[in-house]
């Protein structure tokens, strides 16, 4: 392989609708970014630069049908004919709220919902279902599971994507998902090292700084990653965050040799593939810019460089760094060797990457979702008749919950107040609630929004509250009964509807600490 061939193998580029408008770039920088919302354009770049991987995004808001995904993965694999090296085709299919395959056939609960079941076997089964679906469509690497311990309720980017706030619990569920995913023939990728669970900054929009000392990191953040490595996880994704106690330079972990090489490689003993989080994120670009970020990530110990804002410029920058000697050939060969070994372990050189088909859903996803639905407070009285005010931040849940309540015999009056209603909207919703026989008040991250909190205060006691995202809403105090779904995806809402109407029982318990509960 030439230097250019080797460098190309390190890059993962998007395929699907991931245009500059989707990047976390300032408006004045978007024009220079390479637009990759065309499969043909992606294939051309794969062929020209010998790119080693692609990351799938759906081509339409509601998700692509299985046949379309299978055609896409086959097309990008055919583009590797000149290099003879198959692609790692990756995606973010965590389950729950983060899922690129969005049609109902692909739905499984997310991490916190699975942890609420109290059964690591549920997490393993969910990962097995995901892995079987992905592999059937030609996707061979999944950027999941999330190994972050969500100890900060104000975390804007992890939240219900985490298995909880207890490191030992998170480690157990992460291990189960790694095993389930890889048993299905898909490479699991735990994220976001060294741990994204205690931040109030979204690394898509800025560079979080986590003030854990080394002892705290080893006690809280490290255990799930250590457990995943012991379970044989194929890949680890780095985080765009600074942890000064681990690297006083303030470099993002993605570009920190003390973190990626010193801690992950040497202390934790990981010798698999390290993939960066997306390099188009602000947390990766703030200090050095897009091209330099790719070079520094490689020097720090990363093996795969995920979605730089300008693919061609980043590839050229890495080639220059190798040619100049700044990146030693030994470091380049080490990274390429890990990528190729993973491809061989997955059987990609045997032609298995072209064995795509429409998956048949193994079933059981709704049962897993119901096992995680959690009821707090007074026993839930099923809604079976009378007038019901369905109010609050209904968002995607309006149609699903209204349909479930109506099917049970209720006359539903729905009022969607949005995320942060003003006083007039709060008064109107409270009036509708006061005139109905029953009230179901839906919150979505109400702990962040004063308007939702005002609505909780304005509606009389006696209502049933449904938190369709983070469970921390239940600590706000209002409501006789709280129903927690840990997600607002279609599967979670279907499970909530069955619980509210008494068709099914909730089986979950809180997997995180919620003040006041």
Residues 201, 156: Cα–Cα separation, whole Å: 6
Report the DSSP beta bridge partners of residue 237: 191, 275
Find residue 236's DSSP bridge partners.
190, 274
- Measured CA to CA, the distance from residue 326 to residue 379 in angstroms comes to 65
Residues 6+ apart with CB under 8 A from 89: 53, 54, 56, 73, 76, 77, 138, 139, 140, 141, 353
> Of the candidates 138, 162, 136, 137, which has an alpha carbon nearest to the alpha carbon of residue 150?
162
Give long-range contacts, CB 8 A cutoff, 24+ apart: 33-37: 33/280, 33/309, 33/310, 34/310, 34/311, 34/312, 36/311
Count how many Cα atoms sit within 13 Å of the Cα of residue 95 in the half-sphere of its side chain: 34
CA angle 10, 203, 197 (to 5 degrees): 105
**C-alpha dist (Å) from residue 149 to 111, 160, 447:** 11, 11, 19
Helix axes 423-435, 450-458, angle to 10 degrees: 30
Q: What angle do CA 108, 446, 100 make, to 5 degrees?
A: 30
Whole-angstrom Cα distance, residue 297 to residue 128?
A: 31
Catalytic residue among 277, 280, 303, 489: 277
Active-site residue 420, yes or no?
Answer: no
Contacting residues for 19 by C-beta, under 8 A, at least 6 apart: 35, 36, 37
Total residue length of the chain: 517
Q: How far, in Å, CA of 19 to CA of 14, rounded?
A: 9
Contact 165, 150 (CB under 8 A): yes
Going 320 to 322 to 323 to 325, the CA torsion angle's sign is positive
Contact 100, 60 (CB under 8 A): no
The DSSP bridge pattern shows strands 98-99 and 93-95 to be antiparallel
Q: Does residue 192 have a cis bond before it (omega within 30 degrees)?
A: yes
Which pair of tokens denotes residue 144?
């999941």
How many of the other CB atoms lie within 10 Å of CB of 1? 15
Residue 464: helix, strand or coil by DSSP? strand
Residue 90 and residue 134 in contact, taking contact as beta carbons nearer than 8 Å: no
The CA-based diameter of the chain, rounded to the nearest angstrom, is 76
State how far the Cα of 180 lies from the Cα of 142, in Å rounded to an integer.
12
Catalytic residues: 277
């Amino acid at each position: 392989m030439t230097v250019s061939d080797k460098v190309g193998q390190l890059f993962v580029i998007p395929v699907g609708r991931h245009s500059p408008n989707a990047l976390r770039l300032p408006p004045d920088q978007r024009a220079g970014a390479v637009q990759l919302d065309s499969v043909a354009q992606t294939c051309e770049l794969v062929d020209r630069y010998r790119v080693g991987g692609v990351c799938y995004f759906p081509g339409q808001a509601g998700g692509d049908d299985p046949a379309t995904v299978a055609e896409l993965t086959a097309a990008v694999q055919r583009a590797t004919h000149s290099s003879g090296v198959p692609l790692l085709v990756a995606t973010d299919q965590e389950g729950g709220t983060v899922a690129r395959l969005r049609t109902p056939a692909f739905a499984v609960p997310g991490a916190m919902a699975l942890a609420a079941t109290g059964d690591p076997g549920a997490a393993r089964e969910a990962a097995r279902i995901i892995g079987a679906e992905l592999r059937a469509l030609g996707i061979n690497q999944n950027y999941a599971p999330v190994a972050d311990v969500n100890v900060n309720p104000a975390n804007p980017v992890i939240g219900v994507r985490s298995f909880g706030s207890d490191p030992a619990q998170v480690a157990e569920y992460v291990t189960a998902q790694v095993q389930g995913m890889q048993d299905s023939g898909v490479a699991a990728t735990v994220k976001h090292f060294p741990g994204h669970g205690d931040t109030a900054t979204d690394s898509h929009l800025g560079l979080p700084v986590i003030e854990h000392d080394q002892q705290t990191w080893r006690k809280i953040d490290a255990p799930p990653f250590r457990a995943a490595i012991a379970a044989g996880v194929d890949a680890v994704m780095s985080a765009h965050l600074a942890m000064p106690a681990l690297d006083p330079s303030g470099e993002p972990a993605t570009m920190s040799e003390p973190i990626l090489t010193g801690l992950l490689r040497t202390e934790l003993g990981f010798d698999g593939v390290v993939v960066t989080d997306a390099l188009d994120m602000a947390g990766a670009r703030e200090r050095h810019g897009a091209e330099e970020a790719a070079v520094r990530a490689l020097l720090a110990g990363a093996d795969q460089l995920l979605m730089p804002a300008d693919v061609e410029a980043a590839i050229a920058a890495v080639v220059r760094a190798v040619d100049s000697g700044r990146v030693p050939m030994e470091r380049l060969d080490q990274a390429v060797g890990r990528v190729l070994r993973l491809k061989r372990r997955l059987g990609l050189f045997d032609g298995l990457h072209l064995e795509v088909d429409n998956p048949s859903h193994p079933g059981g996803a709704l049962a897993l979702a119901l096992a995680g639905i959690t009821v707090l407070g007074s026993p839930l009285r099923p809604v079976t008749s009378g007038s019901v005010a369905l109010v609050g931040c209904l968002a995607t849940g309006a149609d699903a919950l209204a349909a479930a309540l109506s099917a049970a015999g209720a006359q539903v009056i729905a009022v969607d107040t949005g995320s942060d209603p003003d006083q007039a909207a709060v008064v109107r919703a409270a009036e509708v609630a006061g005139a109905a026989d029953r009230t179901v008040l839906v919150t979505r991250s109400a702990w962040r929004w004063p308007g939702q909190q005002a609505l909780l205060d304005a509606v009389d006691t006696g209502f049933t509250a449904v938190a369709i995202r983070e469970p921390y809403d239940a600590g706000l105090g209002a409501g006789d009964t709280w129903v927690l779904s840990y997600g607002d995806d279609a599967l979670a809402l279907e499970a909530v509807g069955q619980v509210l109407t008494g068709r099914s029982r909730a089986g979950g318990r809180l997997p995180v600490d919620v003040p006041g509960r």
